Amino acid sequence: MAGGAFVDSGVGAKDYPGKLTLYVFLSCVVAATGGLIFGYDIGISGGVTSMDSFLKKFFPSVYDKEQADTETNQYCKFDSQLLTTFTSSLYLAALISSFFAATVTRVFGRKWSMFGGGITFLMGAALNGFAKNVLMLIFGRILLGVGVGFANQSVPVYLSEMAPARLRGMLNIGFQLMITIGILAANLINYGTSKIKGGWGWRVSLALAAVPAGIITIGSLFLPDTPNSLIDRGHDEAARKMLHRIRGTDDIDEEYNDLVAASNDSKLVEHPWSNILRPKYRAQLTMAIMIPFFQQLTGINVIMFYAPVLFKTIGFGSDASLISAVITGLVNVFATLVSVFTVDKFGRRKLFLQGGSQMLVCQIVVGTMIAIKLGTSGEGSFGKTYAGFLVAFICLYVAGFAWSWGPLGWLVPSEIFPLEIRSAGQSINVSVNMLFTFIIAQAFLSMLCHFKFALFYFFGGWVFIMTTFIAFFLPETKNVPIEEMILVWKAHWFWGRYIADSDIHVGKNFEMANSKAKNVDV
C-alpha cells in the first residue's frame, strides 16, 4: 500500500482554455453570499442564548439556574434540552429541506434554489425578531433551516460549475469565506445589542438575519445559469453562449463537448438516488457521507455555536465572553483567506492534513488547560493570563479548521460528482452535514456537563481518525475539470477497483489514466 494513497491529480486531466473573467468573479461573489445566512445564524445563536434578557423571557429555568449560585458546576450551568432545541431545530429542518432542494436545483436551475432559500430565511428572520413565545421562536428557526438547506445545496455546486478548473478551489471557498464573515458580523452585532437597555437587544440580533437573506434573495435574481445546468435542461445554444462569456475565449469547443457528453450520460439515469449506490460511485458516495460527518466531529460547532456561552461557562464575564467570540470570529475570517489563496496551489490534501494536525494539538491543550483549573468538579476560575492562553489556543484551533475542514468540507464534495448524480450527491452532503450539526448542537451542552474537559479529548480523537482517513482515501482533486474527476478515482490505489473501463467516457486521456492506475501499488 506504500505510496498508493498519493495519486497525482494531474492524471488524464485537461486544461481547458479560458481565464477568470470579471463576469465569473462577480457571479461567484454574489452566489457565495448564500453563505452569509448560514454563518450569521451560527454566530447569532450562541450570542443570543448568552443574553440574560433572552434567557429570562424564553428559558427562565436556565436563567434561574445561572443566577442561583455563582459557585455552581461551571460545566452544567446551561444544560437545557429546550435551549438546545432552539438552536438545533434549524439543522433538522435544513436536513429535510435539502432533499427537496435537490429537485429544485436540478429541474429549475441553481439560482432559483438560492432564491427560494433566501425568501424562506427572510420569513424566519421576521418571525424570530417578533417572537412572543418559544413555539414561535422554534417555528421561525425551522423556516431559517429550510433557507439554509436550499442555499447550502445549491451554492457550492453553482460555484464549482462556474469556476475554471484551475481556480475552482479559490472561488468555491468564497462560500466558506462568507460563512465566516456572517459569523463575525453576528458576533459584533451580539456585542452591540447586548448593551441595549430595556432587554430587547436579542430581537435586533435575530431580526437582522433579514439583511443577509435579502442580499442572496435579490442577488440570485441577477445570477446567470451555469452552462452545466442549461445543457442539462435542454438549452444547448444558451449554454454555449454562456460558456463563451464566462471563459472569455472563443476556444470553448472541447469543454462544451465534454459538458454535452456528461449531460447525455446523465439523461440515461432515470433514478439518481438509486443510481448513486452503484459501485462506480462508491468513492463519491463515501466522501459525501464521511467528509460532512467528520467536519461536524472536529468540534468546531462547540466553539462557533456556543462561543459566548462556552467562554461564559468556563468563567469569563458576559462582556469578556462576547469579546472572545469576536476574536475567534476574526481569526476564522483571516484564516479562511489563507485557504482562498493556497488551495489551488498546494492542493486539498495538504491543507486537510496540516489543519487536522494543528486542530488535534489544540484540542489536547485546551482540554488539559480546562482540566487543570476546573477538574472534574467544575469548580474554579481562570486568571487573566491563563484565560488569554486558553483563548490563544482556541484561536489556533479555529485557524486550523478555517483553512482546512471548514472550506474543504464544502469544496471537495461539490466538485467530485458527475452531472447525473450531482444534485443527489450534494443533497446527501448537506443532509449528513445538517444531521450531525443537529446532533452535536442538541447534545453539546449535555455532553459538556457529563464529559467535562474530556469533551475536547473526545473531539480530538475524531480529528485523529479523520486526518488518517484523508491521508489514505482522498486523492488530490485540484485543477481537475469536474467532468473528468472520474479519472482521479480510477487512478487511486483503493477506489480504482470499483470503476470499470466501460464506466469512463471522457475520451482520449483515459488510456493514460488507466495505464497509471495499473501501476499503482495496492
CA dist., res. 284 & res. 422, Å (int): 10
CA dist., res. 34 & res. 193, Å (int): 24
pLDDT digits (tens, 9 = 90+) for 249-282: 888 888 888 888 888 877 777 677 888 899 999 9
Contact 132, 148 (CB under 8 A): no
CA dist., res. 329 & res. 111, Å (int): 29
Q: If you ran DSSP here, which 8-state letter would residue 225 be given?
A: P
* Cell numbers that stand for 345 in this block: 496551489
DSSP codes, 282-300: HHHHHHHHHHHHHHHTTSH
Q: What is the SS3 assignment for 175-191?
A: HHHHHHHHHHHHHHHHH
Q: Which helix (H) or strand (E) holds 67?
A: helix 60-68
The residue that leads in pLDDT, 243 or 7, is 243
CA dist., res. 316 & res. 310, Å (int): 9
Q: What is the pLDDT of residue 78?
A: 58
State the amino acid at position 270 in one-letter form.
Answer: E
CA angle 463, 465, 471 (to 5 degrees): 100
Contact 255, 66 (CB under 8 A): no
Instruction: Name the residue among 452, 332, 471 with its Cα closest to residue 402.
Output: 332
Give the range among 2-6, 87-91, 488-492, 500-504 with minimum mean pLDDT. 2-6
Q: Is 237 exposed, middle or buried (0-12, 13-18, 19+ CB in 10 A)?
A: exposed
> Is 70 exceeded by the pLDDT of residue 198?
yes
Q: Give the phi and the psi of residue 50 in degrees, each rounded to 5.
A: -100, 0
Class of domain 22-225+269-505 as given by CATH: mainly alpha
CA dist., res. 292 & res. 517, Å (int): 28
Contact 172, 226 (CB under 8 A): no
State the amino acid at position 518 in one-letter form.
Answer: K
Return the SS3 of 194.
coil
CA dist., res. 442 & res. 97, Å (int): 19
State the amino acid at position 67 in one-letter form.
Answer: Q
Instruction: Name the residue among 452, 341, 462, 456 with its Cα closest to residue 403.
Output: 341
Q: Where are the domains of the chain?
A: 22-225+269-505
Give the range among 23-27, 59-63, 405-409 with minimum mean pLDDT. 59-63
Q: What is the pLDDT of residue 190?
A: 86
CA dist., res. 341 & res. 377, Å (int): 45
Q: If you ran DSSP here, which 8-state letter would residue 255 be given?
A: H
Q: Averaged over 300-329, what is the pLDDT?
A: 66
Q: If you ran DSSP here, which 8-state letter would residue 135 be given?
A: H
pTM given for the model: 0.81
Q: What is the pLDDT of residue 74?
A: 59
State the amino acid at position 421 in one-letter form.
Answer: I
> Is 50 exceeded by the pLDDT of residue 6?
no
Other Cβ atoms closer than 10 A to 1: 10
Give the range among 138-142, 145-149, 451-455 with minimum mean pLDDT. 451-455
Radius of gyration of the chain (CA): 23
Contact 149, 96 (CB under 8 A): yes
Q: What is the pLDDT of residue 2?
A: 33
Q: How many CA atoms lie within 13 A of 494 on its CB side?
A: 16
The residue that leads in pLDDT, 87 or 427, is 427
Return the SS3 of 249.
coil
CA dist., res. 416 & res. 404, Å (int): 17
Other Cβ atoms closer than 10 A to 475: 26
> Is 50 exceeded by the pLDDT of residue 23?
yes
Percent of the chain with pLDDT over 70: 84
> Is 90 exceeded by the pLDDT of residue 474?
yes
* Cell numbers that stand for 70 in this block: 455563582
CA dist., res. 217 & res. 501, Å (int): 44
